[in-house]
Amino acid sequence: MEEIVNKVKESGLINLDLAKYQLTESIQLIDIADQLWNGLVLKEKDFRAWIKENDWTTYEGKAVLVFCSADAIVPTWAYMLVTSSLQPYARTIHMGKKEELEKILVKQLIQQTDLAPMKDGRVIIKGCSDHPYPDYAMACLVEHLQPVVKSIMYGEPCSTVPIFKRK
């Protein structure tokens, strides 16, 4: 009987799965709407008192999203005060939408990938994934990998689409 040979394994292809870049940390939320007077206006004196009394150490090492869920005009200085208070503690701070921060965190995960084992390698980025931002994550992977790898393909080892090949 003839031995079965795994040609994909012997080919030296490096398989990357987007599942490796799933967010596992929870994002801490700070909704400035909670500090609005009558849900409409931010009073500087009250806001500064909240800034002073809040225990910012609870955000130590965390990703924090600061936003306002109310339909109110929040002065820029309010976001600046929150950022200034979080800065010594939070790992990253973002103003805006949760999806934006999630994408930033995905890019950070990708940029932490050690490229040394992939130097001059032939990389396949797995096609099927339940990643919440597959297009974004794949674009970030290409951006991160392309300077060091020999080629990038998309799909499965038995059926790939060429993306990049160093000349």
pLDDT tens digits for range 13-23: 999 998 889 99
| Cα–Cα distance measured from residue 121 to residue 19, given in angstroms and rounded to the nearest whole number | 20
What are the φ/ψ torsions at residue 146 (nearest 5 degrees)?
-55, -40
Q: Is the pLDDT of residue 10 over 60?
A: no
What domain count does the chain have?
2
Kindly indicate the confidence band of residue 7, based on its pLDDT and cuts at 50, 70 and 90.
low
Identify whether residues 59 and 108 lie together within a single domain.
no
Tokens of 62: 């965390």
User: Are residues 53 and 81 in contact, defined by beta-carbon separation less than 8 angstroms?
Assistant: no
pTM: 0.83
**Domain final residue, candidates 98, 116, 140:** 98
* Residue 81 included in any domain: yes
Do residues 25 and 58 touch, judged by C-beta distance below 8 A? Answer: no
pLDDT at residue 2 in the model? 76
Contact 153, 163 (CB under 8 A): yes
* Claim to verify: residue 88 and residue 130 sit in the same structural domain: no
pLDDT at 3: 73
What pLDDT score does 46 carry? 97
Q: What is the DSSP letter of 49?
A: H
pLDDT band, very low/low/confident/very high, at 5 (cuts 50, 70, 90):
low
Residues 16 and 31 in one domain: no
pLDDT in tens, 47-81: 999 999 999 999 999 999 999 999 999 999 999 99
Residue 162 confidence (pLDDT): 95
Average pLDDT, the chain: 92
> Do 69 and 86 fall within a single domain?
yes
Domain containing residue 142: 7-23+103-165
Among 98, 124, 153, the domain-final residue is 98
Any domain includes 133 = yes
pLDDT value at position 130? 83
Asked if residue 2 is part of any domain, the answer here is no
**Domain membership flag for residue 53:** yes
User: Looking at the structure, do residues 80 and 93 belong to the same domain, yes or no?
Assistant: yes
Same domain, 81 and 121: no
* Whole-number Å distance between alpha carbons of 42 and 36: 5
Look at residue 127 in the predicted model and tell me its pLDDT.
76
Nearest CA to 101 out of 136, 138, 125, 55 is that of 136
- What is the reported pLDDT for 158? 82
Pick the more confident residue, 102 or 129.
102
- 107 shares a domain with 83: no
The pLDDT assigned to 106 comes to: 95
The reply to whether 84 and 31 lie within a common domain is yes
Are 108 and 70 found together in one domain?
A: no
Q: What confidence tier does 128 reach under pLDDT thresholds 50, 70, 90?
A: confident
